[in-house]
Amino acid sequence: MSTAGSLLDELRTQYEAARQSTHEHADVEGFQEFDARLRKAFRWLEKAITYLDGLKPAIEHRFDLGHGLVFDSPRFGRGSVGQHTRRIVGFPVLDEINIYYEIVAAKALTIEVAPGGVALADKVLDDAGLQYTSRRVEDAGGTVRKCLISVPPAIPANVLFRADYQTGLVTVTLVNVDRFDRVSLEFPSTSIDEPVLEDLVRLILGRDAAFLRRAPLAGIHGQVPSRT
């Protein structure tokens, strides 16, 4: 049998938890303000990527697969900006902004691999999201002596903004932006403004890494990514 005070204790616990949750999220923007901020960011990014798509500027990052395999003279290639919406109490709100672009190098890479190293080479290329073809080279007796892997001069890259209207956070995930890597940062929605977007474009072009110091790693508050 339950004690006389058990229900009251349960209600008090729930009440205090609700008050704590309200306090923690007191500075979270309303969903309409949050949505308006993201829509403004989308329009700004759409214009910026359109300009970069037309200019094809140089990208001052080093895209290195290791073992001396580096893509020469990378430039900004085709780019596009997309969005995804959902509904909150019947109102459509923007919850994702997707930037997709291609980094174009001066020439393709040709990799010569011993038969025993093919699996490792495939994994490195797959992890980087690169397209490639391979050809086995056999000797006169039909024994495979090496494998030649050809990698086109195109690196897929993307930036994803994902909004959480409950916590007021925007997680920005960068894939192959400044190197072959994936990193996610957590921004409060109120910080998604034009200076942040300008820093993102500068990072894409390799002119400055300030964007990476503007927010902590997703899920690890206070720690910013280390880029050397």
**How large is the average pLDDT for residues 117-140?**
86
Dig out the tokens for 117 from the structure.
């190293």
Is 13 contained in some domain?
no
96 vs 113, higher pLDDT: 96
Residue 115: helix, strand or coil by DSSP? Answer: helix
**How large is the average pLDDT for residues 203-228?**
80
Is 55 contained in some domain?
yes
- In the sheet where 75-88 sits, what is the strand order? 75-88, 91-104, 154-164, 169-175, 182-188
Main-chain phi, psi angles of 86, to 5 degrees? -140, 180
**How large is the average pLDDT for residues 189-208?**
96
Question: What share of the chain in percent tops pLDDT 70?
Answer: 88
Dig out the tokens for 137 from the structure.
């080279």
102 vs 113, higher pLDDT: 102
Dig out the tokens for 167 from the structure.
């916590």
**How large is the average pLDDT for residues 23-50?**
87
Is 57 contained in some domain?
yes
Is 168 contained in some domain?
yes
Is 123 contained in some domain?
no
Is 208 contained in some domain?
yes
Q: What pLDDT sits at residue 137?
A: 80
- Residue 220 clears pLDDT 50, i.e. is over it: yes
Q: Using 50, 70 and 90 to split pLDDT, how confident is the model at 21?
A: very low
**How large is the average pLDDT for residues 73-81?**
96
As a whole number, the mean pLDDT across the chain is 87
Q: What is the pTM of this model?
A: 0.80
Question: What share of the chain in percent tops pLDDT 90?
Answer: 61
The count of structural domains within the chain is 1
pLDDT in tens, 99-110: 999 999 999 998
- Residue 222 clears pLDDT 60, i.e. is over it: no
- Residue 23 clears pLDDT 50, i.e. is over it: no
Q: What pLDDT sits at residue 75?
A: 97
* Domain assignment of residue 168, given as a range: 29-63+79-105+158-228
Is 204 contained in some domain?
yes
83, 163 in Cβ contact below 8 A?
A: no
Q: What pLDDT sits at residue 1?
A: 47
- Residue 22 clears pLDDT 50, i.e. is over it: no
103, 59 in Cβ contact below 8 A?
A: yes
Q: Using 50, 70 and 90 to split pLDDT, how confident is the model at 4?
A: low
Is 223 contained in some domain?
yes
Q: What pLDDT sits at residue 43?
A: 97
